[in-house]
Amino acid sequence: MKFFLDTAEVEEIRKAAEIGVIDGVTTNPSLIAKSGRVFSEVVKEIAGIVDGPISAEVTALDTAGMLEEAKPLVKIHKNITIKVPMTEAGIAACVALRRKGVHVNVTLVFSAEQALLAAKAGATFVSPFIGRLDDIGEDGMQVIAEIRTIYDHYDFDTQILAASIRSPLHVRKAALLGADVATMPPAVFHELFKHPLTDAGIKRFLDDWKNAKQ
């Protein structure tokens, strides 16, 4: 499974990337706005830190507008992936962009049917939002499982990018179900390293070493 960070905070990305297991980054207009910086500058700086796909989202709601917004974004760096919404206009934009060789992430996906449409359009990634489905009483992981089954039946190349991840448990379950990528906030990424028995084991080792004859 690939690990992407879902943030636009450059220093957080830099800190996590230094560990060596981050494969990409997902951003959106809301995350960029929180950073208080110019969109293109943030994306370009991220591209200099992480050598992998970087999702940059368009804000237009019509196909022509999405394609126009995508033009300057793809010029920022070779790793830019254009993020489009799961709408008829978004899928049409996905088809057009893929024909030009541009990587596309279809976002705001909440059903296997939507994921099937994204794969038919040739999307590089499809982003089912696990946490938001859980929030309304649906089973986000069931959607991941359904998408995996459909994609495997037809040998689609589209990668399942588990999004709206809220906890390490979400990452574990998504991995068990065969999601290709998990994108997560930095806080969740750092939580993956933790377990109380690991902490207890380190403490015991240090205590034993301290008490051992030197």
* Active centre residues (catalytic): 83
CA distances from 13 to 77, 82, 198, 206 (A): 17, 19, 25, 31
- Of 18, 70, 6, 11, the residue nearest 45 (C-alpha): 11
Are the CB atoms for 183 and 6 separated by under 8 Å? yes
Distance CA 26, CA 56 (A): 7
In a 10 Å sphere around its CB, with 0-12 CB exposed, 13-18 middle and 19+ buried, how is residue 155 labelled? Answer: exposed
- Residue 184, Cβ neighbours under 10 Å: how many? 27
CA angle 157, 76, 84 (to 5 degrees): 45
In this structure, which amino acid lies at residue 61? L
